[in-house]
Amino acid sequence: MKITYDRRTDTLSVVLKDGVVVAESDEDKPGVILDYDAVGDLVSLEILDASRRVTEAGRVEYQTTG
C-alpha cells in the first residue's frame, strides 16, 4: 500500500494494489475518486482538495492491531 500527498495539486492518493491496471474510475462523491480493477476490486482512491477534507493531509499515521 502506498499513500502520497501532492501539495501542488492538494491531492491525497491511496494505492491499495500496486501495479494493477485500473479498469474503471468512479466519483461516487464529489472530490473522491475510486479506481477499480477488471473484476471490480478497489485498487486505489484519490481525494481532491485534500487539505479541506482530511486532518493534516501531509501527515500519515499507520497502525496495526491484533
The phi and psi torsions of 52 (rounded to 5 degrees) equal -90, -20
Band (61; pLDDT cuts 50, 70, 90)? confident
Domain ranges of the chain: 2-53
**Mean of the per-residue pLDDT values for the chain?**
92
pLDDT at 39 over 80: yes
- A 10 A CB-CB count for 44 gives 20
- Give the DSSP H or E segment for 2: strand 2-6
Band (35; pLDDT cuts 50, 70, 90)? very high
For the chain, the first-to-last Cα distance in angstroms comes to 19
Amino acid code (one letter) for 49 = D
pLDDT at 58 over 90: no
